[in-house]
Structure 1
Amino acid sequence: MNRIRIGIGIKKKKLRIEDKTIKIIPAVACLVSLLITGCGAKNKINTSTIFAMDTVMQLEIQGDEELLREAEDHIRDIESELSVTSSDSEIGKINSDKSGKLSKDGTKILKEALKICDMTEGSLDISVYPVLKEWGFTTGEYRVPTDDELKELVANVGFNRIGAEYASDEECNVSIEDNMQIDLGSVVKGYTGSDVAAFFREKGVTSGLINLGGNVECIGTKPDGKPWRVAVKSPFEDSKSDVLGVIEASDTAVITSGGYERFFEENGEKYWHIIDPKTGRPAKSGLISVTVIGKNGTVCDGLSTALFVMGKEGAEEFYKKYGSGENGIDAFELIMVSDDKKVYLTEGVNTIFSLAPEYSDLKVEVIG
Structure 2
Amino acid sequence: MRRILISLIFVSSIFVFFLTRKNSIEYEISGQTMGTIQYNVKYISEEKRISKSDLDSILINFNNIFSTYIPNSEISIVNESEGRIKVSKEFGKLITESNIIYKLTDGMFDPTVGPLVNDWGFGPGNFEKLPSKQRIQELLQYVGFDKISYEDGHLHKKFKKSYIDFSSIAKGYAVDLIHDYLKSKNIENTYIEIGGEVRVSGVNKDGNNWVLGILEPSFDKKINLSATVSLANMALATSGNYMNNYYVDDSLFFHTINPKTGLPAYTNMLSASVFSSNCLSADAYATAFMAMNFIESKSILDSSSDLLGYIIYKEKGEVKIYISDELKPYIRIVEKTNSN
TM-score normalized by the length of structure 1: 0.79
Q: CA RMSD in A?
A: 2.1
**Unpaired runs of at least 5, structure 1:** 1-39, 325-330, 361-368
Distance change in 2, residues 1:359/1:345 (3 Å):
farther
Equivalent residue letter for 2:104: M
The separation in 2 between residues aligned to 1:359 and 1:93, in whole angstroms, is: 52
* Correspondence for 2:245 among 263, 270, 279: 263
Q: Which residue of 2 aligns with 1:111?
A: 96
- The one-letter code sitting in structure 1 at the alignment partner of 2:313 is S
Instruction: Name the aligned partner's letter for residue 133 of structure 2.
Output: D
Report the AA paired with residue 214 of structure 2.
V
* CA spacing shift, 1:172–1:350, aligned 2, 3 Å: farther
Report matched runs for 1:214-225 at 5 Å: 214-225=196-207
Check 1:344–1:227 CA distance in 2 against 1; reply closer, same or farther (3 A cut).
Answer: same
Out of 284, 294, 298, the position equivalent to 2:266 is 284
Contact kept in structure 2, 1:234 and 1:241, CA below 8 Å: yes
More helix by share: 2
* Residue aligning to 1:74: 58
Q: Could you tell me how far apart the structure 2 residues matched to 1:319 and 1:124 are?
A: 15
Q: Which amino acid aligns with 1:281?
A: L
45, 48, 54: which one aligns with 2:29: 48
Larger CA deviation: 130-139 vs 91-100? 91-100
Question: Where do residues 159-308 of structure 1 align in structure 2 (5 Å cutoff)?
Answer: 159-165=145-151, 167=152, 171-237=153-219, 242-308=224-290
Whichever residue aligns with residue 51 of structure 1, its letter is Q
Deviation at 1:264, TM superposition (A): 0.3
| CA offsets 1:13-51 (integer angstroms, 9 cap, x no match) | xxxxxxxxxxxxxxxxxxxxxxxxxxx993422222221
Indicate the residue corresponding to 2:136 in structure 1: 150
Amino acid corresponding to residue 71 of structure 2 in structure 1? S
CA separation of 1:212 and 1:238: change in aligned 2, threshold 3 A: closer
Aligned to 2:39: 57
Aligned length: 310
- Say whether the 8 Å CA contact 1:290–1:336 is kept in structure 2: yes
1:298/1:106 CA distance change after superposition, 3 Å = same
Structure 1 residues 237-268: Cα deviation after superposition (integer angstroms, max 9, x where no partner): 47886211111111111100001111001122
Question: SS where residue 85 of structure 1 aligns?
Answer: coil
Between 99-108 and 287-296, report the one with greater CA deviation: 99-108
Comparing 286-295 and 84-93, the one that deviates more = 84-93
Matching of residue 83 in structure 1 with residue 55 in structure 2: no
Q: For the residues of structure 2 that align with 1:133 and 1:357, how far apart are their CA atoms?
A: 39
Once the two structures are TM-superposed, the CA of residue 56 in structure 1 deviates from its matched residue by 1.2
8 Å contact from structure 1 (residues 333, 349) kept in 2: yes
1:354 and 2:306 matched: no
Alignment partner of 1:186: what SS? helix
Task: Please state how far the C-alpha of 1:98 moved relative to its aligned partner.
Answer: 2.1
Partner of 1:92: 76
Which of 320, 333, 336 is 2:308 aligned to? 333
Alpha-carbon distance, 1:359 to partner: 7.7
Structure 2 vs 1, CA of residues 217 and 137 (structure 1 numbering), >3 Å: closer, same or farther? same
- Tell me the SS of whatever aligns to 2:50: helix
